[in-house]
Amino acid sequence: MEPSAAPAPHPARSAPLCSATGERQLEQGAPGRGPSSRRQTGTGPGSAPRSPAGRLLPPCPVPSGHVPPRPRLIPGAPAPRCPTETLLPPQPPPVVGGGVSLAPEPATQDFTSCSWYRSAITDDNSRILTYYPGPSPVQQNGPTHTGRETAGPGCALHIAGLTLSDTGNYTVRIDSPTSPVPSTTVYLRVSEGVSGVNITMSPSVPIEPEAVTLSCEARGSPVSYSWFKDNEILEAGSRVLLSSDNQTLTLDPSSRNDSGSYTCLATNTVSSQNATVRLDVLYGPNTPSITPRQEVYAEGSTLQLSCRADASPAAVFIWLFNGAPLASSGSDLLVPSLSVSQSGTYTCVVIILFAGRSSYTTLEIAVLGE
């Protein structure tokens, strides 16, 4: 902590800063603070200190749930000082199953005891432990001690076997024989690596133009989601709908052009994993067409018709003559040596059996006798 503008006749202790040692992240204060590093010092009456150059600085921060005391000046006493505030740079956060150490910075030396709390306030119901240094250090466990927490030199708190429930505020209170030390709160976020990514589709067999929804689920904390179609990132649009957390992708209405490979990528600061499904949007049958469209034939000539319809999957074709099924099956109809009695209405019916969808078209044929 840099010296303040007004000299103090007696040394004043600043609030300890808590840091996380090892490979993981510790955020200062509550979640949502930005990833920057800042150091602020100042002195002056009340809660609005001034910098050495005399510039008015923001009031000292007040921990959530605390009521700031009324400022007062005592003749001959040193000016009040704000605790140093530091935001640590972003790092990979602690992970489930790992460990983390929280320690005041700078290291505390002359203290008679220190207590750690699993909350933003020093409520005894949330006390983890109290540590008494000395030749034979003593650790007294509190109500929230889980058997995984230990204290060490410098009032460091070590937590082993981290779980997601360890995420939250941690407050340290240090008792010193020389001067009071304000309590300090830090926020610890524990993450879990991504695993078990899975995509579900509804309906399981989508048919154009009904809406189709893909939902992605993954284990881990926290997890962010991204969607890709045929390895291209998907963005929300008029038909492409994404939920606020990106876990759900909806295509409404669906189109045959939506068919392809869909990938959900789940990531967090620990790891990433993806899953892919194949989406086939079925469609049709469209209204079939009969070729040729010739309507008049001579008696004894050959009638050869072809029926075509756009459909997926492949459709079944049935031919009718005046409403009665013909023995011929398939998309082509062949009637050799026409007779006058074979004049009438020829119908091509196209059916997608499992979807229960069908379409048809007709052609009037006249057979003229000699």
To which H or E segment does residue 5 belong?
Answer: none
pLDDT digits (tens, 9 = 90+) for 29-62: 444 333 333 333 333 333 333 333 333 333 434 4
Residues 31, 94 within the same domain: yes
Residues 346/290, Cβ–Cβ less than 8 Å: yes
pLDDT score of 52: 36
In a domain, 11, yes or no: yes
Please indicate, yes or no, whether residues 201 and 327 belong to a single structural domain of this protein: no
State mean pLDDT over 344-355. Answer: 91
Q: Write the pLDDT tens digit of every residue in 221-245.
A: 889 999 999 999 999 999 999 999 9
pLDDT at 89 over 80: no
Q: Which of 54-68, 86-100, 218-232 has the lowest mean pLDDT?
A: 54-68
- pTM for the model stands at 0.60
284, part of any domain:
no
Chain center to CA of 115: 36
More confident residue, 135 or 65: 135
If asked whether residues 33 and 171 sit together in one domain, one would say yes
> Does one domain contain both 164 and 223?
no
- Do 163 and 207 belong together in one domain? no
Q: Is residue 108 part of a domain?
A: yes
Cα 176 to Cα 15, 36, 107, 180, 259, distances in angstroms: 12, 31, 13, 6, 69
Percentage of the residues of the chain whose pLDDT score is greater than 70 = 75
370 or 215: which leads in pLDDT: 215
Q: Looking at the structure, do residues 36 and 144 belong to the same domain, yes or no?
A: yes
The answer to whether position 149 is within a domain reads: yes
CATH of the domain at 254: 2.60.40.10
Domain boundary among 258, 279, 300: 279
Whether 313 and 347 map to the same domain: the answer is yes
Tens digits of per-residue pLDDT, 160-193? 999 999 999 999 999 988 877 888 899 998 889 9
- State the pLDDT at residue 344: 96
Reduced to 3 states (helix: H, G, I; strand: E, B; else coil), residue 260 is strand
Q: Are residues 71 and 165 in the same domain?
A: yes
Looking at the fold, whether 199 and 275 belong to one and the same domain comes out as yes
| Whether residues 361 and 335 fall in one domain | yes
* pLDDT classification of 92: cutoffs 50, 70, 90: low
Nearest to 153 by CA among 120, 122, 109: 109
The string of pLDDT tens digits covering residues 257-280 is 999 999 999 999 889 999 999 999
Q: Are residues 221 and 340 in the same domain?
A: no
Q: What's the pLDDT score for residue 20?
A: 55
49/136 same-domain check: yes
Q: H-helix or E-strand containing 168? A: strand 168-175
Range of the domain at 274: 192-279
- Mean confidence (pLDDT) of the chain: 79
Calculate mean pLDDT across residues 147-168.
93
What is the C-alpha separation between 355 and 282, in angstroms, rounded? 9
Distance CA 224, CA 271 (A): 11
How many separate domains does the chain show? 3
